[in-house]
Amino acid sequence: MEDIKMMTECFNPATGEKLGESPVNTVEDVARAIQKAKSIQTIWGKMPVRERVRLLRPVRQFLSEHADEIAETISRDNGKTRIDAMATEILPAIMALAYYSKYAKTFLKDRHLKAGSILFANKRSYIRRESFGVIGIISPWNYPFAIPFSEIVMALLAGNAVVLKTASETQMVGRLLEKCFQFVELPQGLFTYLNLPGKIAGDAFLENGIDKLFFTGSVATGKYLMKKASEKLTPVVLELGGNDAMIVCEDADIDRAVGGAMWAGLSNAGQSCGGVERIYVHEKIYQPFMELLKEKVEALRIGYDADIDVEIGAMTTQRQIDTVNLHIQDALAKGATIFAQSKISDNPNYHHLLPATVLTDVTHEMLVMRDETFGPVLGVMKVKDDDEAIRLANDSNLGLTGSVWSKNRRHAKKLAARIHAGAVTINDHLMSHGLAETPWGGFKESGIGRTHGRLGFDEMTQPQVIINDILPFAKRQMWWYPYSVKIYSSLSGLAQMLASKSFFKRVKGFISLMKIVPRFFTKW
């Protein structure tokens, strides 16, 4: 009988045009891919880092030669504008590859530890980084290229094999990612791209022996996967949802703050985990801030970016449109006002377009302020001072990123440290995902662990400590068998020597310790 392969069909959310198909893999494919990856990783993991860098670096050639094609594919598959695709997906990917290629060797170097106590003066310890083996990566549709790309690069440079599953909604981008890494001559089976429905992917990865899981997606799925991972204690990094707050201080540059709020809140049609969702504006500048925000939001162009002349593209999924509409309806029913709204393209052939909407008279009883809306909606509240802004910003179960807008950078830094979020930007927002050197990850239910930067790179390896003894002629430690009263009183003396406030007791402790030092050098 002919083997009929299931296909995921992909459509342009803005036009409904069919873009292509992606074959669906099975759980058996996952098992095979992981087994193959495990065997090849044992060789890859032992390769010198510079050799791994040499093999991976040419991916940048693929990126530069195919940048326009990748931008177009991202735009058509996900709905975002090509400028969003270029600025927030392709450029960060190029910068990430350059950064990790440059620093992989430094990050993987042994780290020597300073001795902690005179008691162990004969010990010299260092931490070496050991790759995990096979890293499983599951990624979402909102940044379908940049998010998995840097994780793949870090994982491979750190000596791991990778099995990747990208979102079903953006398979055309996923298949391009696959091509990126096929462009370089990696050992067969070191990197495997699989297309699986989400609901079976997590179990398939975790039951078939991946050594660590990097998941980016919703809080609900993250919680499910963590529970599942606990069965074998598979380590996880979870990059989950955000409901980011932006605090606009009384001395903020209003032009900049309005521009930043709009870009970070509305680009990618607001479907950014680290995008602005809630804005708290000091009462002294509330009015001019809102006037400018209204003028600029109403001027936004929303449509399909065939000619690169729209600011906001299409929403990726109907499910997300439903969530956004639910949040707006809930807010209006509870007393919110639509303060400003843009128009959408009147071309009847374009779908999945939502107007950018600014809501006022909002409260923390409304879904739009409590939950992640993940759409082109900004809820704005007037606050009387910084303390109120901080209290409201932190009134959330999520804590991915946040921002403070002020001309006084010292003051802004103090406020930033009071926001409970994994990354806080001053006079900017969202862009730090593109800084390869800054760790990315959230507080609270926004996730666990970090990707990006040195901390993110460290997540791709596990620390192994090697403790060396520099007295090879020593026969034993002072406290080894056989035990005696003398050993006990010497160790008790040592406790005094190390911790007593009294000089006399410390000296006495030292003398008592000296009584068992010869044990080092005598046979038992």
Q: Which residues bind ligand NAD (CB under 6 A)?
A: 138-143, 147, 167-168, 198-199, 201-202, 216-218, 221, 224-225, 239-242, 273, 372, 374, 400, 442, 447
Of 416, 38, 440, 425, nearest to 261 (Cα)? 425
Instruction: Provide, rounded to whole angstroms, the least separation between the CB of residue 32 and ligand NAD.
Output: 19
CA distance 143 to 429: 16
Q: Which two tokens stand for residue 226?
A: 């963590």
The nearer residue to ligand NAD, 250 or 437, going by C-beta atoms, is 437
What letter would DSSP give residue 440?
Answer: B
CB nearer ligand NAD, residue 201 or residue 416: 201
Residue with tokens 């177009």: 72
**Residues belonging to the active site:** 239, 273
Burial 402-419 (b: 16+ CB within 10 A, else e): bbbbbeeeeebeebbebb
Residue 134 beta carbon to ligand NAD: minimum distance, rounded to whole angstroms:
16
What is each CA distance from 494 to 120, 481, 499, 521, in whole angstroms? 12, 18, 8, 19
Secondary structure, 3-state, 14-31: CCCCEEEEEECCCHHHHH
C-beta of 371: minimal distance to ligand NAD in Å? 10
CA distances from 116 to 123, 124, 125, 467 (A): 10, 10, 10, 13
Q: Which is nearer to ligand NAD, 8 or 131 (CB)?
A: 8
- In the complex with ligand NAD, the residue whose CB is nearer, 218 or 500, is 218
Q: Tell me the closest approach of the beta carbon of residue 31 to ligand NAD, in angstroms.
A: 16
In whole angstroms, the minimum distance from the beta carbon of 185 to ligand NAD comes to 28
> Rounded to the nearest whole angstrom, what is the least distance from the CB of residue 447 to ligand NAD in the complex?
6
Dist CA 139 CA 273 (whole Å): 12
How is 188-218 classified by DSSP, letter by letter? TTSEEEE---HHHHHHHHHHTT-SEEEEES-
- Of 138 and 300, which CB lies nearer to ligand NAD in the complex structure? 138
Minimum CB distance to ligand NAD, residue 39 (Å):
25
> Which DSSP state fits 65?
H
CA pair distance 330, 315, nearest whole angstrom:
20
Cβ closest to ligand NAD, residue 90 vs residue 290: 90
Provide the minimum distance between the beta carbon of 217 and ligand NAD in the complex, in angstroms, as a whole number.
Answer: 3
Distance of CA 26 to the CA centre of its chain: 27
87 or 292, CB closer to ligand NAD?
87
Q: Which residue in this structure is represented by tokens 């970090």?
A: 450
Q: How far is the CB of 106 from ligand NAD (least distance, A)?
A: 25
Q: What is the dihedral of CA 339, 368, 331, 80, to 10 degrees?
A: 60
3-state SS, residue 389: helix
DSSP 268: G
d(CA 489, CA 512): 7
Burial of residue 305 (CB within 10 Å: 0-12, 13-18, 19+) is buried
How far the first Cα of the chain sits from its last, in Å, is 75
- Whichever of 313 and 447 has its CB closer to ligand NAD, that residue is 447
* Angstrom distances, CA of residue 148 to CA of 144, 216, 300, 383: 7, 9, 30, 38
Tokens of 116: 């902690």
Q: 116, exposed or middle or buried, with CB in 10 Å at 0-12, 13-18, 19+?
A: exposed
Instruction: Find tokens 């209290």 and name the residue.
Output: 391
What the block records as the tokens of 315 is 């929403």
Q: How far is Cα 24 from Cα 245, in angstroms, rounded to an integer? A: 39
